[in-house]
Structure 1
Amino acid sequence: MKQLLKSIIYYLVSAIGISLTIKANVGVSSFNSLNVSVANLFSIQIGTVTTLLNVSFLLACIILDKERKFSNYLLMLVAVMSFGEVINVVYYHLFSQFTINSYIVNLLVFLLGVFIAGFGTGQVLRLSLLKFPIESFCQLLTEKTSHKFSTYRYGVDIVCVSLSLILSLSFSLPVVVREGTIISLFLLSGVINWSKNLSFTPNIAKI
């Protein structure tokens, strides 16, 4: 239960980091670029769109997973719903009164957000109790085909970026595929891998 609580906390830490990257307004990660564009198009909250798209991937996982454990998917559903709600609360309420007028500060806020999101995500992966729907979806496809996990994961990113650009250009929405998207592409995975190797549990054998 303690490990599960930690996983949920780190899951929500990742959501706070994503909220910071959106607030920075220098572009967002591939998946979030689609979330932001859809939210702008339909005038709904970004966290709500994030939840809906994550639930879509979760449902796809349930369909693909022949050895599905519904208790695990129920837990994942609660996690992704909480994830989206944290984004809404942090971005639309906690950060709503803050304005940034300096590009350098915007960039620093974005980098801080990437670090926080990557740290939270890495810890969730290290604990291996909760999963992210997109990664689970890509892993299931990998197990059923001859293609690599990275092929599917990058494929999802390409589709998200492409759809985001199409929506932005077709409906005259703000373009959120920007420099931050490129920075996130190279930096986020590195922070996640670094965080996955961090453990805050003492090694009893060495004490």
Structure 2
Amino acid sequence: MNLKILRDRIILFILGIVVLTLGVSLTIKANLGAGSWDSVNVGLSNRFSLSVGSFAFIIAIIMTILAGMLRNGKFNFYTLVTAFILSGCTDFWLVIVNKIPLNNRLLERGICFVLGILILSIGLAIYLTPNLVPNSIDDCMMAFREKFNLNVGTAKFLADSLGIIIALIVSGPIGIGTIVITISVGPLVNVVFNKLNKILGTVN
């Protein structure tokens, strides 16, 4: 592979993660309900003395092991590199975002939440464009799909449902926002992803 192309793919990949985690942090700040697995991380962080990003990485390790077991011992430890960057960026942005004064008014929280969804969708599309290493949760979801011959939509639904159940158990911030994120992010990412590839060309 051409080194310049690889460099460009890595830059896009990291840029996408930085933007994505800013959006995630804003949805958490809005306190209207975070994404399923983000809610798990927040709930665990509120219960124990570790950061949201730390629990995201711990769960990534568990998911990587589970995916490897589903693939009969074929472990993809590269997903932990993605998880490490994601967890670090999440903690960074939460420190910044939590310094922003936000009244408890529904309008302000709603604006913060919608802005978060838009930003995380753009970030996710950028992160997916170079087609590098997936995060551990998505890789585990694909391992389930391969093992049990599921379609991607079903596998995604089951992964999100499991996240919501765990989040409820650990008192994570599950709310109306969780449903909005689940419904809206996929179509938004698809729109941005297609436009990005038209503008940039697929970075391979």
| TM-score normalised over the length of structure 2 | 0.85
Query: What SS class does the counterpart of residue 200 from structure 2 fall into?
Result: coil
For 2:52, the equivalent position in structure 1 comes to: 46
Structure 2 matches for 1:26-37, cutoff 5 A?
26-37=32-43
Q: 2:12 aligns with which of 6, 11, 33?
A: 6
For 1:195, the equivalent position in structure 2 comes to: 192
**Structure 1, unaligned stretches of length 5 or more?**
169-174
For 1:64, the equivalent position in structure 2 comes to: 70
Structure 1: how far apart are the matches of 2:127 and 2:195? 11
**188-197 or 132-141, larger mean C-alpha shift:** 132-141
User: Are positions 1:105 and 2:108 aligned together?
Assistant: yes
**80-89 or 61-70, larger mean C-alpha shift:** 61-70
Tell me the amino acid that sits aligned with residue 57 of structure 2. T
Structure 2: how far apart are the matches of 1:51 and 1:121? 18
For 2:89, the equivalent position in structure 1 comes to: 86
- What is the number of residues matched between the two proteins? 193
Structure 2 matches for 1:132-147, cutoff 5 A?
132-147=135-150
Tell me if the contact between 1:124 and 1:131 (Cα under 8 Å) persists in the aligned partners.
no
For 1:160, the equivalent position in structure 2 comes to: 163
Structure 2: how far apart are the matches of 1:178 and 1:202? 38
RMSD: 2.1
**Structure 2, unaligned stretches of length 5 or more?**
1-6
Identity of aligned residues (%): 22
Tell me the amino acid that sits aligned with residue 97 of structure 2. F
Query: What SS class does the counterpart of residue 63 from structure 1 fall into?
Result: helix
Tell me if the contact between 1:124 and 1:130 (Cα under 8 Å) persists in the aligned partners.
no
Q: What CA deviation, in whole Å up to 9, does each residue of 1:123-158 have, x standing for no partner?
A: 222221131222221222222222222222211211
Pair 1:97–1:124, CA change in 2 (3 A): closer
Query: What SS class does the counterpart of residue 176 from structure 1 fall into?
Result: coil
